[in-house]
Structures are given as C-alpha cells and as structure tokens.
Amino acid sequence: MKITIIGTGYVGLVTGACLAELGNDVFCLDLDEKKIAMLNSGGIPIHEPGLAEIVSRNRAIGRLRFSTDIEASVAHGQIQFIAVGTPPDEDGSADLQYVLAAARNIGKYMTDFKVIVDKSTVPVGTADRVSAAIQAELAARTPTAEALAFSVVSNPEFLKEGAAVEDFMRPDRIVIGCDDSSEGQQARTLMTQLYAPFNRNHERTYWMDVRSAEFTKYAANAMLATRISFMNELANLADKVGADIEAVRHGIGSDPRIGHSFLYAGCGYGGSCFPKDVQALERTARGYGQELLILRAVEQVNNNQKHVLGNKIVARFGEDLSGKHFALWGLAFKPNTDDMREASSRVLLRELLDRGASVAVHDPVAMAEAKRVLELDFATTPDVLARLHFCETQMAALQGADALAIVTEWKTYRSPDFELVRQHLKAPVIFDGRNLYEPTVMSEIGFEYYGIGRSVLTRK
C-alpha cells in the first residue's frame, strides 16, 4: 500500500519505517530541511534501538523516502498519517497548529479519496477540526474539488520510547476510531488491510468511534502516570514510617488485579507524553466544566517527586552546597533514549547548581542532546553552567565527588565495580533515584545509601 507519513519526529519516523519494513511504499514528509537532509544521508535524528537499521534497509531498496515536497506527499498515499508534534500550549492544552496545517495541506492538494489518520496524540474532537480544515480547503478550490471524498480516522500510538520498534511490530492492541458513513466504511476496509499483518495470530484491533479512540490514548497515559505518582507518594510515606517500598511493590503487584507494571518508585516521570497528556486531559475536562481531581494530584505529586532526590542531598550535606562536588549518572528521562523533555535530571541539576555545587554528569546516549538542552536551561546564568562538567565515562564522572546521584536506570549503571566507585568518590555516598541497588548489600560493602522509600533498611 502507498502510505504518507506527515512528520518525521519520534512517532512519524518509527511508524513510517515499520510500515515500510512490512512491504508498504512509504513517503515521509517533513518541512525541516535539515532533518530531511540528515535522513536522506543516512542519519537518524533520534536514538531508538533498531530504528537506524530499519530505516537504512528500506531506504536502500526504495520503500522509504524522505522529502519536503508537500504536493508530492499528498499525491503519494491514499492513507495519510498525521504524526506531527502537539506540544502543550501555555494553558496546558495541546497545540494543534501543526495538525491543522497538515490537514489544510491535504485539502489543498488532494485529487482523490484519502484516509486521513490522526496518529498524533490529540484532544477529543480533533478529528472534527481536521475534517473541517480539509473541507474548507476543498471548498476554496473548485466545485469539483469540494465534492472530493475523504475520511478522518483516529489511530493513536502506544509506543514506549526505547522499545518503540518492538511495540509497533508486536503491538498488544491497535485502536482505530472511524465513523459509520460510507467513507468511514471505506476507511475501515483500507485500515483493515494495512494492519492485517499484525492480526494473523489473533485479532489485536479494537474498533470504536473516533472520539472514543482519541480519548483512549489520553486515558491510557493518565492511568500509567497515576500508578507512578501513587507509588511515589507511598514511597515518601514509607521513608517516614519505616517500610520498604520494594517489599510493598512485590506484595501488591502479586495481586492480578493490580499487576507489577509501572509500580516502581523513583524521582518522577518525564518525557514527551505523560506530562503533557495529563495536562491536556485536565484542560479538556475544564473545557466541559469538570475538574479531574485525581489527575491534578498526579501532576502535583510528580512535580514534587522531582525534588525528592535534591531534598535528600540537602538533608545530608546542608542547604549551602558551595564547594561540594557531585557526580550524576543518567540525564535522559528514561533509558534507551536521548530524550531530555521533562527529565528529572534537569530539576536536580538546577537545584544542585543553584545551591553552589559543581556537578559532573554522564549518560550513555543523551550527552549531545543534554548539552543542547542544558545550555538553554542555563542560558541566562553562564557562570552556573560553568560548574557543569560532561564526562565521557561513568567512572570519570565520579572522580573526587562528594556523592553519586543516579537519575536514569541505564543497564550500565546496574552492576558497577563498587570498589572502583569507592576509589573514585571522595566519600562512599550514593543517592539512588531509581532504587537500582539493595540497601542492605550497599551497607555491607561500606556505602552510605539513600534510595526512594527504603529508609527502613540499614545505612552505614
């Protein structure tokens, strides 16, 4: 099938590459000329395991192409995926300017039936706005163009950064929302054909109306964010009452009604999805005169949680950290990505640097992106930025540090040479924001260890 992907960001690039891998002829459009030049020269603008190989293989055989030519992109695919960014607006709502611009371009150039697929995460009711934008462009052309048929479908993505290729190729569910018009039924036929390879073992597609599909994406992310904040709040209480949140996690996760996923206490969630989607769903509710009290609390708990590690460091070393030097392992908001959006590391670094400390940092993948983002974060305070040092190896970051803080649970940090860690640190002190290590073991080998919700266990 001929497919057009509008937007080569995280969702668009993964979607386009994976659909090409399945044998489709995929045209990826982006208006960023530098990004398209990078993709056409063999580069990849994001870090995602397995993606570079798929892009390279399918670009080489001609099943995947990248262009800035809008008219050609509309002409190419009978199915047009809109996968552009929907960043949060000032009031927390999703900014749909790029989605609606893509819709207008489709209306401006389409000459035959099109299925327009909202792949971007968009508020309930966006399909109606996309349809109206296309119809307005068609009406502005000719009476013949105004009569052109199309159908707008909602097909939200459920991709985890760091496992997006696997998630796309082996989905646990495919959600598609379409209407019951003749155009909608035609769209359903085409979408059924497109996703047929994923349904051979068993049916994974959940058909519903468009608004329910749009809502499903937000509801899923809101539920996962809620589980994380719930466990983080319990972890903070566990520190006070003398319980071990890891034992609690195992105890409640064994209940099949609860399960083990997304029950890990830590220093807060980040990334491009959970923070903005929780805000957008809250904003949607307020537009209908409803307050989502649970989600408001989820957001507040998460914002507070990003300060927990810094609070532990201040409690140990004092309010004034001038002259103190810390090592920080992990900058990306989660492992297997270089995404720094809403990363907990940014909050901790701000707190340490503003209190006068210097910090040496390491991340296996995100160093280049972190430099770019942190230079923007501290653009108005270059003297503060001068106390931030980027290290090529995780051990180099430890040299002479008063303590180590761990923010991202990369595999390379899970089993370090602790004797070497001790030798590099000024003092054997670890603040573990992801509970990678067992406190009793750390105490036995001579480390002063601070986890999240694990204060019941003995420290040196």
Rounded Cα–Cα distance for residues 441 and 448 (Å): 11
Does residue 292 sit in the same domain as residue 348?
yes
Does residue 132 sit in the same domain as residue 277?
no
Pair 384, 346: CB distance under 8 Å: no
Mean pLDDT in residue range 397-422: 97
Mean pLDDT in residue range 261-268: 96
Q: What pLDDT is stored for residue 144 in this prediction?
A: 86
In a domain, 381, yes or no: yes
Q: What is the mean pLDDT of the chain?
A: 95
Q: What is the DSSP string of 181-205?
A: SHHHHHHHHHHHHHHGGGGSSS--E
Mean pLDDT in residue range 116-145: 94
In a domain, 369, yes or no: yes
Q: What pLDDT is stored for residue 156 in this prediction?
A: 96
**How many independent structural domains does the chain possess?**
2
Pair 382, 353: CB distance under 8 Å: no
Rounded Cα–Cα distance for residues 86 and 95 (Å): 5
Kindly indicate the confidence band of residue 460, based on its pLDDT and cuts at 50, 70 and 90: very low
Does residue 254 sit in the same domain as residue 402?
yes
Q: Which residues pair with 81 in a beta bridge?
A: 5, 117
Q: Which phi and psi (to 5°) does residue 38 adopt?
A: -65, -45
Q: Cite the beta strand spans of 368-452 per DSSP E.
A: 388-390, 403-406, 429-432, 448-450
Kindly indicate the confidence band of residue 459, based on its pLDDT and cuts at 50, 70 and 90: very low
Q: Minimal CA–CA distance to 93: which of 130, 124, 63, 139?
A: 124
In a domain, 19, yes or no: yes
In a domain, 220, yes or no: no
Residue-range definition of the domain harbouring residue 308: 228-450
C-alpha torsion 223→212→129→189, nearest 10? 130
Could you report the per-residue pLDDT of 308-362, keeping only the tens digit for each? 999 999 999 999 999 999 999 999 999 999 999 999 999 999 999 999 999 999 9
Does residue 84 sit in the same domain as residue 169?
yes
Mean pLDDT in residue range 238-253: 95
221 pLDDT exceeds 80? yes
Mean pLDDT in residue range 222-228: 97
In a domain, 212, yes or no: no
Could you report the per-residue pLDDT of 40-71, keeping only the tens digit for each? 999 999 999 999 999 999 999 999 999 999 99
Does residue 171 sit in the same domain as residue 234?
no
Does residue 437 sit in the same domain as residue 333?
yes
In a domain, 265, yes or no: yes
Q: Give the N- to C-terminal CA distance of the chain in Å, as an integer.
A: 63
203 pLDDT exceeds 70? yes
Q: Which phi and psi (to 5°) does residue 135 adopt?
A: -65, -35
Mean pLDDT in residue range 227-239: 97
Kindly indicate the confidence band of residue 456, based on its pLDDT and cuts at 50, 70 and 90: low
Does residue 176 sit in the same domain as residue 278?
no
Give the residue, 246 or 459, on which the prediction is more confident: 246
451 pLDDT exceeds 50? yes
**Can you give the pTM of this predicted structure?**
0.92
Q: Minimal CA–CA distance to 194: which of 423, 438, 386, 3?
A: 3
Which tokens is 30 given? 């982006």
**Neighbour tally for 229: CB within 10 Å:** 25
Mean pLDDT in residue range 263-290: 94
Could you report the per-residue pLDDT of 86-114, keeping only the tens digit for each? 888 777 788 899 999 999 999 999 999 99
What CATH number does the domain containing 196 carry? Answer: 3.40.50.720
Does residue 238 sit in the same domain as residue 337?
yes
Does residue 355 sit in the same domain as residue 436?
yes
Does residue 242 sit in the same domain as residue 131?
no
457 pLDDT exceeds 80? no
**Neighbour tally for 270: CB within 10 Å:** 24
Does residue 180 sit in the same domain as residue 251?
no
In a domain, 223, yes or no: no
Q: Of all helices (H) and strands (E), which one includes residue 115?
A: strand 114-118
Rounded Cα–Cα distance for residues 302 and 249 (Å): 18
253 pLDDT exceeds 90? yes
Q: What pLDDT is stored for residue 89 in this prediction?
A: 78
Active site positions, annotated:
273
In a domain, 361, yes or no: yes
Does residue 141 sit in the same domain as residue 287?
no
Least confident residue range of 89-93, 252-256, 276-280, 427-431: 89-93
